[in-house]
């Protein structure tokens, strides 16, 4: 199992192209949600479009510093992410990584492929491109209403499996799905589908 998370508007406050370390601020409940996912024992991986790099608003070094600030803020609340994969390209560039393309997700799957199997996948994000990328790799998708999520929901242009208020609520739902589908039979001690 693996959980993919968008970054801006899902984990941290949407700043419209965050380009400075000072602008990194976690959304309420985001660290708690990631901490809940950590307790499932599966990789939690960020997959994020970062056009700020392609536009020249931010260097790769500054992007790394912004991500490190996020990691530090999460760590202060007992939460961790296992990997961060970013697309630095512009929408018009012919790359394979910019969501809704699946290059970032495929790269993460290669890295974490031995972490207990990746047949069950979840993706949480606030944009249609997140949901489309998740669906393309067979993930159960969650649209959060934070960031651009409320507008995304109102347009009705994408079809997530679930629409939830925030990352913490998405994590609660993921935990519930896992528990429902991992029942242990009292007579045999084997896992049975829920």
Active-site residues, by number, are 6, 8
Distance CA 89, CA 146 (A): 24
Identify the helix (H) or strand (E) that includes residue 175: helix 167-180
**Interatomic CA distance for residues 93 and 145, integer angstroms:** 28
Beta strand residue intervals within 64-166, DSSP E: 83-87, 121-125, 140-144, 162-164
Is the C-alpha dihedral spanning 140, 146, 151, 153 positive or negative? positive
């Amino acid at each position: 199992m693996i959980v993919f998370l968008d970054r801006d508007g899902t984990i941290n406050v949407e700043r419209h192209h965050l380009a400075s370390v000072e602008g990194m601020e976690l959304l309420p409940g985001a660290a708690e949600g990631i901490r809940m996912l950590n307790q499932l024992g599966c990789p939690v991986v960020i997959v994020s479009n970062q056009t700020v790099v392609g536009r020249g608003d931010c260097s790769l070094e500054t992007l790394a510093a912004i991500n490190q600030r996020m990691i530090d803020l999460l760590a202060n609340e007992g939460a961790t992410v296992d990997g961060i994969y970013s697309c630095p390209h512009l929408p018009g560039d012919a790359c394979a990584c910019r969501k809704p393309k699946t290059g970032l997700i495929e790269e993460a799957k290669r890295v974490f492929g031995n972490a207990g199997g990746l047949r069950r996948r979840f993706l949480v994000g606030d944009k249609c491109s997140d949901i489309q990328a998740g669906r393309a790799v067979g993930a159960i998708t969650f649209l959060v209403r934070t960031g651009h999520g409320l507008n995304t929901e109102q347009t009705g242009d994408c079809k997530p499996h679930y629409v939830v208020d925030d990352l913490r609520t998405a994590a609660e739902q993921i935990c519930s799905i896992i528990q429902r589908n991992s029942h242990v039979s009292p007579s045999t001690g084997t896992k049975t589908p829920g």
